[in-house]
Amino acid sequence: MNHAQIEALLNEVHSGSTSVADALERLRNLPFEDLEFAKVDHHRALRTGMPEVIFAAGKTSAQVAAIFERMAKAGGNVLATRASQEMYAAVKAAEPRAEFHETARAITLKQTDAPAGRGTVAVVCAGTSDLPVAEEAAVTARLMGNTVELVADVGVAGLHRLLAQQQTLRTARVLVVCAGMEGALPTVVGGLVHAPVIAVPTSVGYGASLGGVAALLGMLNTCVPNVSVVNIDNGFGAACVASLINHL
Amino acid sequence: MNHAQIEALLNEVHSGSTSVADALERLRNLPFEDLEFAKVDHHRALRTGMPEVIFAAGKTSAQVAAIFERMAKAGGNVLATRASQEMYAAVKAAEPRAEFHETARAITLKQTDAPAGRGTVAVVCAGTSDLPVAEEAAVTARLMGNTVELVADVGVAGLHRLLAQQQTLRTARVLVVCAGMEGALPTVVGGLVHAPVIAVPTSVGYGASLGGVAALLGMLNTCVPNVSVVNIDNGFGAACVASLINHL
Amino acid sequence: MNHAQIEALLNEVHSGSTSVADALERLRNLPFEDLEFAKVDHHRALRTGMPEVIFAAGKTSAQVAAIFERMAKAGGNVLATRASQEMYAAVKAAEPRAEFHETARAITLKQTDAPAGRGTVAVVCAGTSDLPVAEEAAVTARLMGNTVELVADVGVAGLHRLLAQQQTLRTARVLVVCAGMEGALPTVVGGLVHAPVIAVPTSVGYGASLGGVAALLGMLNTCVPNVSVVNIDNGFGAACVASLINHL
Amino acid sequence: MNHAQIEALLNEVHSGSTSVADALERLRNLPFEDLEFAKVDHHRALRTGMPEVIFAAGKTSAQVAAIFERMAKAGGNVLATRASQEMYAAVKAAEPRAEFHETARAITLKQTDAPAGRGTVAVVCAGTSDLPVAEEAAVTARLMGNTVELVADVGVAGLHRLLAQQQTLRTARVLVVCAGMEGALPTVVGGLVHAPVIAVPTSVGYGASLGGVAALLGMLNTCVPNVSVVNIDNGFGAACVASLINHL
Amino acid sequence: MNHAQIEALLNEVHSGSTSVADALERLRNLPFEDLEFAKVDHHRALRTGMPEVIFAAGKTSAQVAAIFERMAKAGGNVLATRASQEMYAAVKAAEPRAEFHETARAITLKQTDAPAGRGTVAVVCAGTSDLPVAEEAAVTARLMGNTVELVADVGVAGLHRLLAQQQTLRTARVLVVCAGMEGALPTVVGGLVHAPVIAVPTSVGYGASLGGVAALLGMLNTCVPNVSVVNIDNGFGAACVASLINHL
Amino acid sequence: MNHAQIEALLNEVHSGSTSVADALERLRNLPFEDLEFAKVDHHRALRTGMPEVIFAAGKTSAQVAAIFERMAKAGGNVLATRASQEMYAAVKAAEPRAEFHETARAITLKQTDAPAGRGTVAVVCAGTSDLPVAEEAAVTARLMGNTVELVADVGVAGLHRLLAQQQTLRTARVLVVCAGMEGALPTVVGGLVHAPVIAVPTSVGYGASLGGVAALLGMLNTCVPNVSVVNIDNGFGAACVASLINHL
Amino acid sequence: MNHAQIEALLNEVHSGSTSVADALERLRNLPFEDLEFAKVDHHRALRTGMPEVIFAAGKTSAQVAAIFERMAKAGGNVLATRASQEMYAAVKAAEPRAEFHETARAITLKQTDAPAGRGTVAVVCAGTSDLPVAEEAAVTARLMGNTVELVADVGVAGLHRLLAQQQTLRTARVLVVCAGMEGALPTVVGGLVHAPVIAVPTSVGYGASLGGVAALLGMLNTCVPNVSVVNIDNGFGAACVASLINHL
Amino acid sequence: MNHAQIEALLNEVHSGSTSVADALERLRNLPFEDLEFAKVDHHRALRTGMPEVIFAAGKTSAQVAAIFERMAKAGGNVLATRASQEMYAAVKAAEPRAEFHETARAITLKQTDAPAGRGTVAVVCAGTSDLPVAEEAAVTARLMGNTVELVADVGVAGLHRLLAQQQTLRTARVLVVCAGMEGALPTVVGGLVHAPVIAVPTSVGYGASLGGVAALLGMLNTCVPNVSVVNIDNGFGAACVASLINHL
């Protein structure tokens, strides 16, 4: 029951064509989704430039392609994360405009320009192993209307390379910092900038990295006050939070 | 070596009173902190309204009082977290203007008005057990110049109470959501609003709550894309991130 | 806005004293709690005999007494779990009819007869160490209107004592089985009966019991299909589930 | 030694054809299984409609088919869980009446009508990823004689979709709620209904989901008093408990 | 119903004073504990010299004294483990013959001579910190009739001290080896002897010892084939297993 | 330097052909292995019937075959555990007398009769899933000279089947009890017998079984005093300890 | 901006061709890496003989070959760890001088002689399963200019073999000790020598070895004061630390 | 049997007063400790300046004083770690020359000058909370003959403070770096220097620091190749390793 339907009902009460008792009964069971929820969701997608998203890992190529095609028809932007080259082939057959971002393991379809973010989102990572997560964040953030600066190869073991990028780091309005192994990069970057840092632990490492848990714990225990954390390898989620902040 | 000193050195080189070789030697050892770092830190504190902070847990009342007094002399705002009534007595003796926030276990001294945040910071928690963490966040955020709305008693087990607060939640520019036990509140709140949510797991619970780890894991696995997480019981840290975003 | 208020509003629309547009506006912001929620909660409490509950651990005696007194005034039954003798003294001063169950560490006030459960709830535990949790379950279940049979000292290490109690176990409509250490009792009991078994791991044990986690894992891995599990030491919660089933 | 044999022995004692000493000796070694156990098990299967069950994961297709065929000959219903399409082909060759439930990964053979449950079992899950576990629960519950309502796509991140299903949720006599990631759904559903909720954590997720442990911990720490929990991905077990309750 | 009672019943059937039907009914409900169980337990205690045991930790002095006194009256040996000096005072008042073993934190009452073990039980530990656990094992084993050789101060960091004790180690019929920290001692000792080694991890250590879990894991992963393991700090249990083997 | 060499040296000292100083120098560096160690190891192998063992998992078929062949030449018995059918083919080609035990995943070569154990070793497990571990224990124990009784399908969920096997369990001199999932079987068996029980947790299970850790913890927390534990799936190790005890 | 460039700038200031203001501006933005950092890194590589390194695991053969070739062109030594035979084929095609170390899973290219270490590096491990990690350490240490003694097959279960190697162990200037399972070897070796021991836990083991975590914990809890630890399976890292010490 | 006794025996063989057979018998049982072990230990202590050490935590003041006094009589240096002020009072009464280091919680007695280390040991930590561990390392290293530079307040969140200390860090021959929370400091310091870094995780932190486990994991996963790690809070152990390296 939407705005128009409630208005109609009230008009019927006003005109007497529906009794107060009947109207009361219909309103009592007023489904919650008929209130402002749907619109909110809609407005939010519009304002934040959030695309429709498929988490492709664990799905078949056929499933990914089918979902992608259906989402594409809704007219907005579409993003499939954790996608393989083979999945892309299937998607491409169904929707030829889809693009593949190999390192990011992401398939995108851009049908509309998301509203532009107000500043730059810096996506920072240490080494080539963290690049898939960082690129996933970058691709996501760009599709959501943000200007992205990707700063790679700035691990804490070689501070000079990181310090050389200070200008870029400091001009970003919000930063996404990805790191595996000991996960120290967000803390060090957080100490260099005064913008919010979204930390993404990656599963890069072996042995005591425990699949990214070591990096995750490191980030949660950060001693700088401008860092918050998302799930291991969740470049997509970090980009969403960053984009949201960048659109404030 | 600050800006003025470098300028003086260059003038000496220009005038010939210092040789190029000598100047080169002095510049070679240019300490890093003489560059732009200090200013950055200073500007940052000014812009974000960050107070000087003492983590009081594990310190003696005398230590807390001594540090508090020294910090107070610097003229800025001071905040001691995880403080006891006894610590407050010691601080009060040294600095009579200090205030105690009992539930928040925080001592504050407000000497300057921090720059005002642009919107409202909502601090949300489920029950009375989570209040100390939520109040720590609220006290911190207020001291940093933010208007804070505290929304308590809105656990996910009684959705109607939470839904009744939607207006408050939706008008906040950024939210801090504290929850112990299963830690579901930030996810549910995140689904209701379109602002960034900083999730704070609390150590409230017993048995399988594992001291807050269950809530922490729950928040990291959230299925909404506007939530990031800080350490268990870290109300202070969440408020810092939220204030930073609210001052963007 | 309750039923009467909505009815009044509709009458105003009908009479024309309120315009459709104004009514629409007021209905648009209809708070969710004004719908059927509150009644549901009320009915549910009535039907299941759920008392008002205080988790006393971590609260001061004064706090427990104050909350207990306030709840008592509402006229229903009141239960404080994880309560000490000292807390009871404070409660007793405020509400002389309150009773203390020492082993169960529970304070109760029975003001009304909860609706009677349909069968017997058996509360089973192995040794004296598990008794506080079992008694918490028994006290809770009794206050909620159930006939409770407490079967103690039937650990799996001495099967004959357990088998001797088969008659009692088999006549129960639902069972609450508490066990620490290796947590095998619910599985063995589950194999002997055809009623639902609510398993409660207890924190009884040391070393590799990991505070009850060993027992919890054991119960979750049970090989019988009539066992489900609640949190460590959560005798109260198990009794609630059991009472709910016993009132079906 | 069954009832008839004991009776025969007593008759022999009575008639004197067996001496008291010999009868004593034979009774002393009376195997336990000759007492009421077997009948109990039999009655129980009849009353609860429990099928014979194969946990197919880790077995070869040939093994599954062989066990299935043997069980089928006993005349009751048969259920193989965690089965693949290839296993089904093997089973089908041996027992053509067997049916495959692809999403549920289950093979069933229905030879008898299990006694009907008294109400509806609602099986609830958030997204498509949790469907295999939810469908396993649904297939199991149906085979055990229950009317099942499957409610999918109602994650806590979009409360309005969940709230729109309240009528279905509230009319269920018992609910099975499956959720991965943060595992909040059973808590939220538990707050909406007054029936027992069997929570099933799923291994859906990545990183800090720790293979379903995050969801499991979340459910064990639930703050609602009508939820109990089974093992990760154990849709079958949850359905058994639910069916048992629904047949009370 | 014991042996005599069954005999009596059969005699009644034989004489006709009890009908077959009545006898059948009484036999049908034959409680399991009336079979051979009780005797078994009794014989076992006699054969293995097992005393009655109280796990004193977590009990009050009054409780320990009361249980101890009651057990003492049964005429067998009594052992209270994890007991304090204060508990001993209470026990002593009730049972003046009780002895206190301070390092072992054990109270014993020896009223009968347990049957002698066939060889020597060696109880081995590294340093003074592990002595409480080792002494608990030694006191337990002695009370159960074993000759015990206590070999302390033979940590793996100083192999020569351990090797100097080879004669003692090799003449033991079974060994109990206690170690905290890295828990390597049972493995090294296991490689030096050809008798069964019962390994007891102790909670001695800090940090990454995780309360004895590190030592426990080390012992479970031993590369020698004559080592099995009991719970952390479980000197009592190790002595029971060792005594059992020594009485074979 | 072996016995003969030391004797020769002493003869040289006696005859004066080697000076005391030179002899002293040679003795000072006396390698430890030249003392009694080697003989000890030899004697032990003889007395306990320990075969040469290959842990085949992770090795190539060629490697397993090569090691097996080399060991076989030493004339004793040989055992390869965790071996595949393919490995067996390679071993068979090199050593045609080798036998494969499919369920146990073990290859054996029996060239000598190990000394006979004094009693029976019972190997007990719950279901078919635990059989590979139980069979590994049985094959190992038999090769080491023990009479083995394998008791399968006696899970704690169906006590009557277990109780029906009491005679077999009670006549065993030592028992190996394998169980996955909740790992309760060794505790229940331990309560029924008075012989030492070696508990083997298996990795059978899913979800909260954590690869056998749940069963392991359950066994370590056993409340019976005749159980000790070996590593997860370590049927071989349990059989070694059991055989050692059975040869005492 | 390097040394020469700063000198040039100062000369320009001295000559007046650049104003003080302009020079100040250029110096203000002096990138940090233009200071002494680069040289330091260069010197360090020269002094410690550190090669360029590729962690090959998770990369394609083509990627490994491409990186290897590019690194080789820089003229220094190159090392690829965790490399497969297939990766070697690809590298060999690009750089024919590359060598493969099969057990170590390492590819090396030696173009220059690293400065010689001052003593011997002993690399010690227990069994054949630990050899890959030990060989990785040995290959790395040799490429970095160290004389390496590899001591294998000296597990703590057979002390005599270890003690027989004492001379080799004691003459080493630094030791790398690799061990899986219970991880006791570094502690035992540490007690035999007075040189620093770098302990490397390996992931060798199963069940409770938890992928090397058991060995890691064991080593961290060592009771000897000359042991420090690196990550699980990190033979390369241990060799780097050892080489660094050996070049002091 | 020491050197003199073996010499005497050989002289007896030479003179014929002891037969070769008798001598052989006595040598066969030659206790291992009579070989070179003791001297090795003695030499080692002399060369590395290792004091006698008491781990005071968990001991009574009387015990600490008694052990301290006995050790002092041996004439070497003595160190008690984890000692309280009260313990010091007891030690002081027994040995008036003992000194207390309050922050380090250490009692020392210096009776001899340990041999001087060859370079400087830098002990580095982030904040005041890590000081007790860092001071324990410093006090230990000094007592062992090392020149120590303590560098505090250089956390990774404020890189400029750390970079300002580069000169000190780079001139150290070996570094001990202590850090709690995220544990990133050793990695960052390791990237700045070319000396070995001994990393000490501290238990400073709360929530997800898990008592220092987060810092420990961070350090084990370091991406610099000159870092090895000791146990949580083990400042003493790190100083021992560092001193050993500094005396090479």
Q: What are D61-72's pLDDT values in tens digits?
A: 998 999 999 989
What is the reported pLDDT for D90?
97
Q: Which parts of chain G register pLDDT below 50?
A: 1-2, 29-44, 46
pLDDT-based confidence at residue D158 (cuts at 50, 70, 90): confident
Q: Cβ(E10)–Cβ(D23) under 8 Å?
A: yes
In sequence order, the 6+-apart residues with CB closer than 8 A to the CB of G55 are A129, G81, G82
Q: What H or E segment, with its residue span, contains residue F188? A: helix F185-192
Which residue intervals of chain H are DSSP H helices?
A: 3-15, 20-28, 37-48, 61-73, 85-94, 131-143, 159-163, 166-171, 185-192, 213-220, 235-246
Give the Cα separation of E77 and E68 in Å (integer): 10
What is the reported pLDDT for C42?
39
Inter-chain touch G240–H225, beta carbons under 8 Å: yes
Amino acid at C52: E
| Chain E residues touching F190 at Cβ < 8 A | none
pLDDT-based confidence at residue C22 (cuts at 50, 70, 90): confident
Residue B12 has pLDDT above 90, yes or no: no
Strand runs labelled E in chain E: 52-55, 78-81, 99-101, 106-109, 120-125, 147-151, 174-179, 197-201, 227-229
Report chain F's mean pLDDT, rounded to a whole number. Answer: 87
Say if G20 is an interface residue toward chain B (CB within 8 Å).
yes
Q: Which tokens hold the place of H26?
A: 């006595």
Q: Which tokens hold the place of G17?
A: 């061709």
Give the Cα separation of D89 and D80 in Å (integer): 13
| Chain B residues touching H208 at Cβ < 8 A | 212-213, 216, 231-232
- Lowest mean pLDDT, pick from A78-87, A157-166, B112-121, D235-244: A157-166
**What would the pLDDT profile of C23-36 be if each residue is shown by its tens digit?**
776 665 443 433 33
Phi, psi of C151 (to 5 degrees): -115, 105
What is the reported pLDDT for C3?
57
Q: How far is CA C68 from each of CA C133, D116, E79, F18, rounded to the nearest angstrom?
A: 21, 45, 44, 96
What is the reported pLDDT for A160?
80
Inter-chain touch B187–D159, beta carbons under 8 Å: no
Neighbours of F17 (CB within 10 A): 9
Largest CA distance in chain G: 79
Distance of CA E90 to the CA centre of its chain: 23
Inter-chain touch D244–C196, beta carbons under 8 Å: yes
Q: Which among D79, D74, D49, D63 has a CA at the least distance from the CA of D235? A: D79
**Coil vs helix vs strand at D153:** coil
**What would the pLDDT profile of H24-51 be if each residue is shown by its tens digit?**
766 654 434 333 333 334 344 545 568 8
Query: Least CB-CB distance to A191: which of H156, H180, H221?
Result: H156
Give the Cα separation of C152 and C168 in Å (integer): 12
Q: What H or E segment, with its residue span, contains residue D160? A: helix D159-163
What is the reported pLDDT for B81?
96
Q: Which tokens hold the place of E38?
A: 């009780």
Say if E208 is an interface residue toward chain H (CB within 8 Å).
yes
Q: How far is CA F154 from each of CA D205, F177, H132, rounded to the nearest angstrom?
A: 36, 11, 56
Q: Cβ(H144)–Cβ(H114) under 8 Å?
A: yes
**DSSP structure string for G49-96:** TPPEEEE-TTS-HHHHHHHHHHHHHTSS-EEEES--HHHHHHHHHH-T
Inter-chain touch F207–D38, beta carbons under 8 Å: no
Minimum CA–CA partner of G190 in chain H: H241
Give the Cα separation of A8 and D246 in Å (integer): 43
Report chain G's mean pLDDT, rounded to a whole number. Answer: 87
Amino acid at C24: L
Looking at residues E112-141, what average pLDDT do you find?
93
**What would the pLDDT profile of D31-69 be if each residue is shown by its tens digit?**
343 333 333 343 445 455 688 899 998 888 998 999 999
What is the reported pLDDT for F129?
87
What is the reported pLDDT for G186?
95
Looking at residues D218-234, what average pLDDT do you find?
95
**Coil vs helix vs strand at C179:** strand
pLDDT top residue among G212 and C160: G212
Owner of token pair 């001061």: C60
Give the Cα separation of B185 and B198 in Å (integer): 11
What is the reported pLDDT for G39?
35
DSSP one-letter code for H151 = E
Give the Cα separation of H55 and A128 in Å (integer): 45
**What would the pLDDT profile of E67-101 be if each residue is shown by its tens digit?**
999 989 888 899 999 999 999 999 999 999 999 99
**What would the pLDDT profile of B104-142 be if each residue is shown by its tens digit?**
999 999 998 999 999 999 999 987 889 999 999 999 999
DSSP one-letter code for B210 = G
pLDDT-based confidence at residue F92 (cuts at 50, 70, 90): very high
What is the reported pLDDT for D25?
67
Residue B34 has pLDDT above 90, yes or no: no
What is the reported pLDDT for F39?
35
Give the Cα separation of D247 and E35 in Å (integer): 36
What is the reported pLDDT for C41?
42
Q: Cβ(H174)–Cβ(H140) under 8 Å?
A: no
CA A166, A170, A174, A177: dihedral to nearest 10 degrees? 10
| Chain F residues touching E241 at Cβ < 8 A | 196, 225-228
Task: Work out whether strand A147-151 and strand A120-125 pair parallel, antiparallel, or are unpaired.
Answer: parallel
Query: How would you label H118-129 residue by residue, b for 16+ Cβ within 10 Å and e otherwise?
Result: ebbbbbbbbbbb
- D-contacting residues in F 131-170 (Cβ below 8 Å): 158-161, 163-164
**What would the pLDDT profile of H139-148 be if each residue is shown by its tens digit?**
999 999 999 9
pTM of the model: 0.86
DSSP one-letter code for D147 = E
What is the reported pLDDT for A5?
67
Give the Cα separation of A75 and A55 in Å (integer): 19
In sequence order, the 6+-apart residues with CB closer than 8 A to the CB of B64 are B54, B56, B80, B83, B87, B90, B91, B107
Give the Cα separation of B121 and D6 in Å (integer): 79
- ipTM, two decimals: 0.82
Q: Cβ(H147)–Cβ(H120) under 8 Å?
A: yes
Looking at residues F29-44, what average pLDDT do you find?
39
Give the Cα separation of B241 and B231 in Å (integer): 12
What is the reported pLDDT for C35?
37
Owner of token pair 């919680």: H105
Chain A touches chain B, with at least 3 Cβ pairs below 8 Å, answer yes
Distance of CA F106 to the CA centre of its chain: 12
B57–chain H nearest CA distance, Å: 10
Question: Distance from first CA to last CA of chain C, Å, rounded?
Answer: 32
F101–chain D nearest CA distance, Å: 18
Inter-chain touch A183–H218, beta carbons under 8 Å: yes
Neighbours of B44 (CB within 10 A): 15
Report chain E's mean pLDDT, rounded to a whole number. Answer: 87
Length of chain G counted residue by residue: 248
Q: Which tokens hold the place of F195?
A: 């012989």
Phi, psi of H216 (to 5 degrees): -60, -50
Length of chain H counted residue by residue: 248
A221–chain H nearest CA distance, Å: 5
Residue F97 has pLDDT above 70, yes or no: yes
What is the reported pLDDT for C25?
67
Q: How far is CA B168 from each of CA A181, B175, B190, H193, rounded to the nearest angstrom?
A: 41, 10, 13, 53
CA F223, F228, F234, F240: dihedral to nearest 10 degrees? -150
Q: Which tokens hold the place of A123?
A: 């996506």
**What would the pLDDT profile of H181-227 be if each residue is shown by its tens digit?**
989 999 999 999 989 999 999 998 999 999 999 999 999 999 899 99
Question: Distance from first CA to last CA of chain H, Å, rounded?
Answer: 33
Amino acid at E48: T
What is the reported pLDDT for F36?
36
CA A108, A109, A112, A118: dihedral to nearest 10 degrees? 10
Say if F33 is an interface residue toward chain G (CB within 8 Å).
yes
**What would the pLDDT profile of H114-125 be if each residue is shown by its tens digit?**
999 999 999 999
Task: Report the DSSP beta bridge partners of residue D52.
Answer: D78
Give the Cα separation of A88 and H60 in Å (integer): 69
Q: Cβ(F47)–Cβ(F247) under 8 Å?
A: yes
In sequence order, the 6+-apart residues with CB closer than 8 A to the CB of G70 are none
Inter-chain touch G160–F234, beta carbons under 8 Å: no
